[in-house]
Structure 1
Amino acid sequence: MNFKTEKLTLQHGNAEIISIQTNDQNSLTKSSMQEFAGMIENLKKDESIKGVILTSENHKFFCNGIDANTVSHLPKDEIADFMSWICILFGILLKFDKPLIAEVTGHAMGGGAVLTIACDYKFMLETGCRIGFTEVMFGLPLPGMFVYKIQESLHPTKVNEVCLEAKQYKAKEAKEVGLIDETALTREGIRDLSIQKFETLFGYPASAIRYTKANINQKSLLNFEEHLKNARENFTDPIISENLMEAMKAFKEKRKPVFK
């Protein structure tokens, strides 16, 4: 299984814990993204669950983004469909109408940062973790829906640093720029933050949380289909797809990519 699940029973209701366990780097394939999307849609309908924690038991990686090995072997005519799934998954997470918490206990790069910023609350371990939107390092334009959410979350002076420079942040740095809400020294400390947040939120009417979340994420979902269309068009651009394939191969071979 790509994801491990367990229930967390609290005073005012139950939460579902989803642990990413796709592979040794917790990278994402099309099938694992589709599986995760289906899980979120089912939890949205499950009235016994009032919130979700996204985490990982992997001590090095929370999620290392799109799977390099899979992409490097894709036929060119399948790249756009594959890559568009991280955008689709992002939209599904933003539309999830219950509290969603990311426990970043390992590196969150590229798609891992995307999953993180889609969550309502983001808690990060202070040691052994970095987070960054590394898309441009792999020759990819950052899709508009991601940029919208980044602009909403970060200090304005840091947006270009995050989006154009692909800067990677340790936990306390990530909190300073707005990528992360709070940090802790241990995994237990991270879980305590999640429990405290849920104990507060679960005490409020679910309907109030549902509609308020929709209002909060409305701007990031604005023109979503247009951004998705643009992203697909970008992914079909021959230069972008060739640069992506080169970057993924270089990543596997542990060398610097040679871009066009």
Structure 2
Amino acid sequence: MSTVTFELYNDEIGILTLNRPEAANSFSKQLMKDFNDQLDQIEMNDQLRALVITAEGEKAFCAGADLKERSGMSEEEVVQTVGQIGRLVTRVERLSIPTIAAINGAAFGGGLELTLGCDIRIASKKAKMGLTETSLAIIPGAGGTQRLARLIGLASAKYYILTAQRFDSIEGKDIGLIQEVVDPADLKERAISLASDIASNGPVGVQMAKKAIDQGFDHDIDTGLSIERKCYLNTIPTKDRLEALEAFKEKRKPRFEGK
């Protein structure tokens, strides 16, 4: 059985699930291979409009690196494996469609770093998380030092990374990392509901909005506005834009095709 599964909720929404609950859904070499294989298929599916990323079981979303596997690695192998996790997170981050991390349980180290590569994060009330690498005498190496600071601010990122502080989903929401906290039984349903909200909007507009935000964020305001304008111009010649105007005139819901 694959350690990462993918299913279609409908033609527009996909659900990718880490499926290694007996090992806290940790990043083994096999899981990373299976994850990348699933991303190959997701990237080729031009019908998808949103992706939910979650995990099997109630205890763990992803505990990070598989420390049992790593204990038998050479220094060079450890560096290579961390690089693979980092590239995987970047690949998720660069998907053209929006991604929602539905954090069902513990998300530590690389597991939390995976959620940082997603566009939206919602979490179970029982979830615990943290970038705890300094307690293992290392640092977050799959993008955590960079993405956490961009999401919650420099001082807060230093606080959580340097102390290896663990926190719950409520605290995660308070610091702006988690957008919603829900009952465990409602997590998947709520993630699908958010994905449905996204999928109901114009696909080209959604993708261009994500691109404008991501590419403009680290630039000065003038450069960011220039990026926004280029992305906006990509939406003008689309059939969906004209359909939205027609639907408004006819007082009906638009039927977007992503064209």
Change (3 A) 1:169 1:61: same
Corresponding residue of 2:229: none
Give the deviation of 1:7 after TM superposition. Answer: 1.5
Q: Does the residue aligned with 1:102 lie in a helix, a strand or coil?
A: strand
Question: Is 2:49–2:199's contact at 8 Å kept on the other side of the alignment?
Answer: yes
Instruction: Work out which of the residue numbers 136, 139, 144 in structure 2 matches 1:138.
Output: 136
Question: Is 1:37–1:89's contact at 8 Å kept on the other side of the alignment?
Answer: yes
Question: Is 2:130–2:165's contact at 8 Å kept on the other side of the alignment?
Answer: yes
Identity over aligned residues, as a percent? Answer: 21
Give the deviation of 1:46 after TM superposition. Answer: 0.2
For 1:80-119, what aligned pairs fall within 5 Å after superposition? Answer: 80-119=79-118
Q: Does the residue aligned with 2:163 lie in a helix, a strand or coil?
A: coil
Query: Which one-letter code corresponds to 2:20 in the other structure?
Result: T
**Separation of aligned partners in 1, 2:65 and 2:216:** 26
Question: Is 1:149–1:220's contact at 8 Å kept on the other side of the alignment?
Answer: no
Q: Does the residue aligned with 2:51 lie in a helix, a strand or coil?
A: strand
**Separation of aligned partners in 2, 1:219 and 1:143:** 24
Q: Does the residue aligned with 1:49 lie in a helix, a strand or coil?
A: coil
Query: Which one-letter code corresponds to 2:177 in the other structure?
Result: L
For 1:45-56, what aligned pairs fall within 5 Å after superposition? Answer: 45-56=44-55
**Separation of aligned partners in 1, 2:218 and 2:93:** 8
Give the deviation of 1:108 after TM superposition. Answer: 0.4
For 1:164-183, what aligned pairs fall within 5 Å after superposition? Answer: 164-183=162-181
What are the ranges of 5 or more consecutive residues in structure 1 without an aligned counterpart?
A: 223-260
Question: Is 1:4–1:20's contact at 8 Å kept on the other side of the alignment?
Answer: yes
For 1:25-64, what aligned pairs fall within 5 Å after superposition? Answer: 25-64=24-63
Query: Which one-letter code corresponds to 1:93 in the other structure?
Result: V
Query: How many matched pairs?
Result: 217
Corresponding residue of 1:218: 215
What are the ranges of 5 or more consecutive residues in structure 2 without an aligned counterpart?
A: 220-259
Query: Which one-letter code corresponds to 1:7 in the other structure?
Result: L
Question: Is 1:22–1:28's contact at 8 Å kept on the other side of the alignment?
Answer: no
1:205 pairs with 2:209: no
Corresponding residue of 1:241: none
Q: Alignment RMSD, CA only?
A: 2.1
Question: Is 1:122–1:181's contact at 8 Å kept on the other side of the alignment?
Answer: yes
1:191 pairs with 2:192: no
Give the deviation of 1:158 after TM superposition. Answer: 1.5
Give the deviation of 1:110 after TM superposition. Answer: 0.5
Give the deviation of 1:86 after TM superposition. Answer: 1.2
Change (3 A) 1:80 1:144: closer
